[in-house]
C-alpha cells in the first residue's frame, strides 16, 4: 500500500452582517413567550404521540411513549400518556402556551388520560376536538359464497 495524501482544507469564518445592525448568529435559537397554542394527541393501539404547537402550527415540543422509555404494549397505556404530558410540561414550562385547544385523534387507551393530565399539569384547556377519521361507507363486503 502506498502513502496516503492528506489535503488540508482552509477554513474561513464568515460572519453575516445585517443592514440595520450588528452581527447575527444563525446558530442561536431565540425563545419567545407563547400565550395560546394547540395540543395534538394521537392515541393508537400501539403508541401515544403528543405534540404542542403555537397558533400558527409551528411545533414547540413533542413526546412519545417510546421516547420516554416505554416499550411494547406498555406504550399504549393511560399511565404512559400521563407521563408524556408531564414530560412536555417540563419542556415548555418557561415559554410554552397556557391556553390550549386540544385536538384528539385515534382510539387508543391513552386519549382520556392525556386530556386529564393536561388539566392537572396546569394547562387551561379551551376546547377539545375529536378528529378521528370515520369511514362513511366502510369496506366492500365479501363476495357471496358459492358452493
**Is the separation of the CB atoms in 85 and 51 below 8 Å?**
no
Q: What is the pLDDT of residues 54-112, one digit of tens each?
A: 999 999 999 999 999 999 999 999 999 999 999 999 999 988 899 999 999 999 999 99
The domain made up of 48-130 is a member of CATH 3.30.420.80: yes
Give the pLDDT score at 44.
94
Q: Is the pTM of this model over 0.75?
A: no
* Alpha carbons 39 and 126: distance in angstroms, whole number: 11
**Is the separation of the CB atoms in 26 and 88 below 8 Å?**
no
Amino acid at each position: 500500500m502506498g502513502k496516503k495524501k492528506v489535503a488540508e482544507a482552509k477554513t474561513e469564518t464568515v460572519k453575516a452582517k445585517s443592514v440595520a445592525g450588528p452581527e447575527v448568529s444563525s446558530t442561536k435559537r431565540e425563545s419567545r413567550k407563547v400565550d395560546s397554542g394547540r395540543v395534538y394527541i394521537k392515541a393508537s393501539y400501539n403508541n401515544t404521540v403528543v405534540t404542542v404547537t403555537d397558533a400558527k402550527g409551528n411545533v414547540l415540543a413533542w413526546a412519545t411513549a417510546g421516547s420516554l422509555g416505554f416499550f411494547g404494549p406498555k406504550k399504549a397505556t393511560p399511565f404512559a400518556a400521563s407521563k408524556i404530558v408531564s414530560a412536555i410540561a417540563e419542556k415548555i414550562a418557561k415559554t410554552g402556551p397556557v391556553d390550549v385547544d386540544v385536538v384528539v385523534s385515534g382510539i387508543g387507551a391513552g386519549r382520556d388520560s392525556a386530556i386529564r393530565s393536561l388539566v392537572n399539569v396546569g394547562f387551561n384547556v379551551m376546547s377539545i376536538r375529536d378528529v378521528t377519521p370515520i369511514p362513511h361507507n366502510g369496506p366492500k363486503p365479501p363476495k357471496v359464497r358459492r358452493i
